[in-house]
Amino acid sequence: MPTVAAEIELPCPPAQAWPLVSDPDRLTDWIGGLHAVRYGRLPPVEAGRSFVLDHTVGGQRSRHPADVVAWEPDHRWTWAVLQDQLDVQRTTELSSTPTGTRVRLTLELRPCTAVAWLGMPLFLAEARRRLRADAARLRDQFGR
């Protein structure tokens, strides 16, 4: 799958950064275009749980179901959104560094149609721009 990534470093251990990057109710603070994360009684904090993303993509507001496909507290979590044209998998991964925590944000894009394949260069450029902006917002959020 075509992949884009962005990294930042936060001046704290992974256990301290984890709540900011994994709490569904805080994702709207740093993921651009995300308006709400909706879920049932329990938050989606383990593999197999589902939730709904209320977000704006390409200027259009929409809702998409998402599934948590990996959940490793203090280290990594991944969710997948399956759509008609393009499936997206987003991973947030934390690793210790001598001065804190490296946060790596990754988007994997899987085109589902020929039209989506043709648009892949544009999708990748937009995904790269959005991830960099998300990483900057995450760094700003941590400083608050």
Domain residue extents for the chain: 3-142
First-to-last C-alpha distance (Å) of the chain: 35
pLDDT in tens, 3-16: 999 999 999 999 99
The span from the CA of 82 to the CA of 86, in Å, is 7
Please state the pTM of the whole predicted model. 0.89
Reference 101, options 23, 9, 22; nearest CA is: 9
pLDDT in tens, 51-108: 999 988 778 898 989 999 999 999 999 999 977 777 889 999 999 999 999 999 999 9
At the topology level, CATH places domain 3-142 in Alpha-D-Glucose-1,6-Bisphosphate; Chain A, domain 4 (3.30.530)
Do β-strands 76-81 and 60-72 pair in parallel, antiparallel, or remain unpaired? antiparallel
Is there a contact between 27 and 138 (Cβ–Cβ < 8 Å)?
no
Reference 61, options 40, 31, 34, 38; nearest CA is: 34
pLDDT in tens, 15-29: 999 999 999 889 999
| Contact partners, residue 49, CB within 8 Å, separation at least 6 | 39, 42, 43, 67, 68
pLDDT in tens, 130-142: 999 999 999 998 7
Rg of the chain taking only CA atoms, in angstroms: 15
